[in-house]
């Protein structure tokens, strides 16, 4: 339990652990309507002369809303960028070309490792997607490295999104590595990506679908995702600042960075949607439980990628997965450490009562002395 001698910074870190929040800076403590700042103890922040409630608020990210804009890097609209292709304009997404999807057969694989440039590393049942992989032009810079293939061919009801809904980045921001109480936060990359102020594509993510208007991207990047990201890369908190995105056409192959805001959109009518994605080699964590193993034995490069066996929704172990999924779906985490703060509040009430009793005894002793 918390005590009144705890310093605020260490207390926020303990609360972050209890609430499965990787970044303690997302934890804000409020007392009497004011934020309790670091550099003080609870005793200094909360007067012992009267009962006080300390509330815990989990912010969408570790940055104050007034500072969001300074973390958004905007680029020229795509149509302007295309007209200036040879002038070294940096881009957060690029339309690479048009692909032709093969007839659907019910494939549903996610982040399957394969060797970039080696068709033999693709199992036979997925090889008809090799022409799409070959159209990912920047992969020429990563020949022989491990990439990750996603193919999803599923029927989607009207009003639903096939992939993850909501504005987000591919990088999840901070994730926890290793299990148990010794877990530490790390910035996880998910393909990275850069145009190096030119037209060549390095790293990043390629994706396409067969349904127009089912994906949207923004020609912008988010700086310091370890601070700006919510749970698993959530960016809904900056939607109002980004303006309109670019809706993708059917069969349009695009390249994005892992810090490019994007989202999967609800379909206007029921359809069988085919989705294709290649994530390049710079992937920090590969969630074994949520990814497809390559039956040919291709595995993530251990130099670049840590294989995590736990549920990716359980940022502090499998036991927390259910709660984390619920919070992820709500895209807000308003939970309070109720029991902890009930105990703390009771303790502060007790201290206030003890203080009053002590003053009463001193007054009686003073009166008797007179």
Do 45 and 36 form a contact (C-beta atoms < 8 A)?
yes
Rounded CA-CA distance 231/243 in Å is 22
**Model confidence over 147-199: pLDDT tens digits?**
999 999 999 999 999 998 899 999 988 776 554 444 556 778 888 999 876 66
165: exposed, middle or buried (Cβ count in 10 Å: 0-12, 13-18, 19+):
middle
139-153, 222-236, 310-324 — most confident range: 139-153
Q: What secondary structure, in 3-state letters, does 105-123 show?
A: CCCEEEEEEEECCCHHHCC
**Model confidence over 5-35: pLDDT tens digits?**
777 888 888 888 788 787 888 888 888 777 8
Least confident of 18-32, 296-310, 335-349: 335-349
pLDDT of 103 over the 90 cut: yes
pLDDT of 90 over the 80 cut: no
Rg (CA), the chain: 26
Mean pLDDT, range 273-286, rounded to an integer: 95
What pLDDT is attached to residue 81? 43
How much is the pTM?
0.77
Cβ of 260: how many Cβ atoms within 10 Å?
24
Do 48 and 186 form a contact (C-beta atoms < 8 A)?
no
Pairing mode of beta strands 285-287, 306-308: parallel
**Model confidence over 241-260: pLDDT tens digits?**
999 999 999 999 999 999 99
- Taking alpha carbons only, the member of 192, 271, 228 closest to residue 65 is 228
What pLDDT is attached to residue 339? 36
What pLDDT is attached to residue 338? 37
How is residue 57 written in tokens? 């608020």
**Model confidence over 38-82: pLDDT tens digits?**
777 777 766 656 666 788 888 899 999 999 999 999 987 655 444
- Taking alpha carbons only, the member of 130, 109, 111 closest to residue 121 is 130
What pLDDT is attached to residue 79? 52
């Amino acid at each position: 339990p918390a005590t009144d001698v705890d310093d605020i910074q260490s207390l926020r870190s303990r609360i972050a652990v209890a609430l499965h929040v990787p970044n303690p800076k997302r934890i804000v403590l409020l007392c009497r309507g004011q934020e309790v700042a670091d550099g003080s103890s609870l005793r200094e922040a909360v007067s012992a002369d009267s009962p006080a409630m300390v509330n815990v608020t989990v912010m969408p990210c570790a940055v104050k809303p007034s500072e969001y804009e300074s973390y958004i890097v905007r680029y020229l609209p795509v149509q302007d960028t295309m007209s200036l292709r040879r002038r070294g304009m940096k881009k957060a997404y690029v339309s690479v070309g048009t692909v032709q999807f093969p007839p659907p057969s019910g494939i549903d694989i996610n982040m399957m490792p394969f060797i970039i440039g080696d068709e033999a590393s693709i199992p036979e049942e997925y090889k008809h997607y090799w022409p799409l992989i070959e159209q990912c032009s920047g992969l020429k810079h990563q020949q022989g490295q491990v990439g990750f293939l996603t193919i999803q061919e599923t029927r989607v009801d009207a009003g639903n999104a096939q992939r993850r809904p909501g504005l987000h980045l591919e990088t999840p921001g901070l994730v926890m590595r290793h299990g148990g109480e010794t877990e530490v936060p790390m910035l996880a990359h998910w393909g990275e990506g850069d145009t190096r102020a030119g037209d060549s594509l390095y790293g990043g993510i390629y994706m396409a679908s067969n349904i127009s208007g089912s994906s949207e991207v923004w020609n912008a990047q988010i700086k310091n995702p370890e601070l700006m990201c919510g749970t698993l890369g959530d960016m809904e908190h900056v939607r109002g600042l980004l303006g309109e995105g670019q809706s993708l056409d059917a069969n349009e192959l695009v390249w994005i960075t892992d810090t490019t805001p994007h989202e999967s959109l609800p379909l206007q009518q029921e359809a069988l949607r085919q989705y294709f994605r290649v994530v390049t080699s710079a992937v920090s964590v590969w969630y074994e439980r949520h990814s497809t193993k390559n039956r040919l034995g291709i595995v993530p490069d251990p130099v670049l990628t840590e294989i995590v066996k736990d549920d990716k929704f359980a940022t502090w172990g499998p036991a927390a997965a259910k709660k984390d999924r619920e919070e992820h779906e709500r895209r807000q985490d308003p939970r309070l450490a109720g029991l902890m703060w009930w105990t703390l509040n009771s303790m502060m009430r007790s201290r206030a009562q003890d203080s009053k009793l002590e003053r009463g005894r001193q007054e009686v002793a003073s009166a008797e002395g007179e």
